[in-house]
Amino acid sequence: MKKVIVIFHDNNIKSGATASMLSIVQYWKTHNLIEIEAIIPKDKGSLGKALGELHINYQIIDYDMVRYHVDDNIITRALKYFRGWYRFSRDIVFCLKNKNKFSHADYIYSNTSSIYFGVILAKMSKIKHIWHFREFGFEDQNCKHIIGDNNFYSMANNLSYKIIVISKSLENKIGKYIESDKIAHIYNGIDSSSIYTKKKLFLDKRNPLKLLIVGAVIPNKGQEFVIEALGVLKKKNIPFKLGIAGQGKSSYLEHLKEKCRILNIEDNVVFHGFVSNKNEILSDYDISVIPSKSEAFGRVTLESMISGLLVVCSDSGANKELVSDVNGYVYLNDNIESLVSILEKIYNEDEDIKLKKVEMAKDFSAKFTVGKCAKEIHQVMGGF
């Protein structure tokens, strides 16, 4: 049985990437496929508790993400950039001092491209490295690598045994830099057992549109774009309600609220903030809008499909790999007129057409299981 050390990028099981990796680790453990150890950053957090419940040994080590956020403030951006270099240097020193402690493993497995700790440790310990890329970086999270994209992908290519990507769109991006035989395209799996499923949708023709956006409230996630589109929809006298569930900087949230006031839709928009249990609000909405400028996969998209929400998304990133006219509605990215047209269509379209799309989406989402994902990654590591 292969021995794998999994390096998590954070310690929060509510984080999408951590939740995905934890579900894979749980499958490996319960099916006795891989002998697993874990390393988590800073403190145990909710992840340490979850690993303990699975009887998986873990260590807490002081490392962190080393990318930097491209902040509008040049001073803040510079501070984050140099902080990334400090963290990178700290990782190198730790790995040099402790390389012999990890030589028993067959693989070191880094979860997300935002951390360099795993690849450094694998190099120093002379262990095969697998890197699970789950994000574009700048396009979806407005973050850049401190060593630059070319150097980062060169490092990943030279020091990794395999690089796993979660969509064809992400594969297309890194394929410019990474040898094709090192790339393994494996879609995320979703654990549907804990996802709330709506019993009834209110999608009657000319019923008020009840729209929901779930995710971090940042510019690249597209909340402002949807608000602007709804300002146009308001002038067309189409009734709607928009819920925005997610955390964001207070300054950006205030900016969005001010935009709602300017467009005279403040009474139509609800800012829920971070919602630990999305099931609590799903019953109030019928339509999931995914307006991200570039989704690397679409976990929220699939969760929405499983929940039985009608899905509306842009044609950017991995969205087009998941959503089509058969199982949802797709608008042209960054095109307000296109989104408004789609929402008008939903408002005026017969309920049967919309419910058929919802059923097709449920059937489609059923293919994305944790077991399928975990077994495919297991094969990348040579199986048994």
Q: What mean pLDDT, rounded, does the chain reach?
A: 93
Residue 84 is predicted with a pLDDT of 95
Q: Does residue 198 sit in the same domain as residue 184? A: no
Given pLDDT bands bounded at 50, 70 and 90, which one contains residue 384?
Answer: low
Q: What are phi and psi of 81, to 5 degrees?
A: -65, -50
Q: Does residue 223 sit in the same domain as residue 85? A: no
Domain of residue 350: give its range.
193-365
Mean pLDDT of 79-96: 95
Residue 131 · residue 110 · CB < 8 Å: yes
Residue 201 is predicted with a pLDDT of 85
Going by C-alpha positions, the residue among 248, 204, 199 that lies closest to residue 223 is: 248
Residue 184 · residue 165 · CB < 8 Å: yes
Q: Does residue 160 sit in the same domain as residue 251? A: no
Q: The domain spanning residue 146 has which CATH number?
A: 3.40.50.2000
Cα–Cα distance between 305 and 192 in angstroms, integer? 10
Q: Does residue 141 sit in the same domain as residue 164? A: yes
Mean pLDDT of 258-269: 97
Q: Does residue 180 sit in the same domain as residue 273? A: no
Cα–Cα distance between 239 and 209 in angstroms, integer? 6
Q: Does residue 180 sit in the same domain as residue 212? A: no
Q: Does residue 92 sit in the same domain as residue 203? A: no
Given pLDDT bands bounded at 50, 70 and 90, which one contains residue 295?
Answer: confident
Q: Rank 131-140, 161-170, 188-197 by mean pLDDT and report only the highest.
A: 161-170
Cα–Cα distance between 203 and 208 in angstroms, integer? 8
Given pLDDT bands bounded at 50, 70 and 90, which one contains residue 383?
Answer: low
Given pLDDT bands bounded at 50, 70 and 90, which one contains residue 20?
Answer: very high
Given pLDDT bands bounded at 50, 70 and 90, which one contains residue 276?
Answer: confident
DSSP annotation of 15: S
Q: Does residue 98 sit in the same domain as residue 203? A: no
Residue 200 backbone class (left: φ over 0; alpha: ψ -120 to 50; beta: rest): beta
Q: Does residue 245 sit in the same domain as residue 288? A: yes
- If one counts the domains in the chain, the total is 2
Entry pTM: 0.91
Range 299-304 contact pairs with CB under 8 angstroms and sequence separation of 24 or more: 299/16, 299/20, 299/188, 299/190, 300/214, 300/215, 302/188, 302/190, 302/365, 302/368, 303/190, 303/195, 303/278, 304/214
Given pLDDT bands bounded at 50, 70 and 90, which one contains residue 206?
Answer: confident
Q: Does residue 168 sit in the same domain as residue 21? A: yes
Q: What is the pLDDT of residues 105-150, one digit of tens each?
A: 999 999 999 999 999 999 999 999 999 999 998 888 889 999 999 9
- CB neighbours of residue 123 within 10 Å: 18
Residue 133 · residue 163 · CB < 8 Å: yes
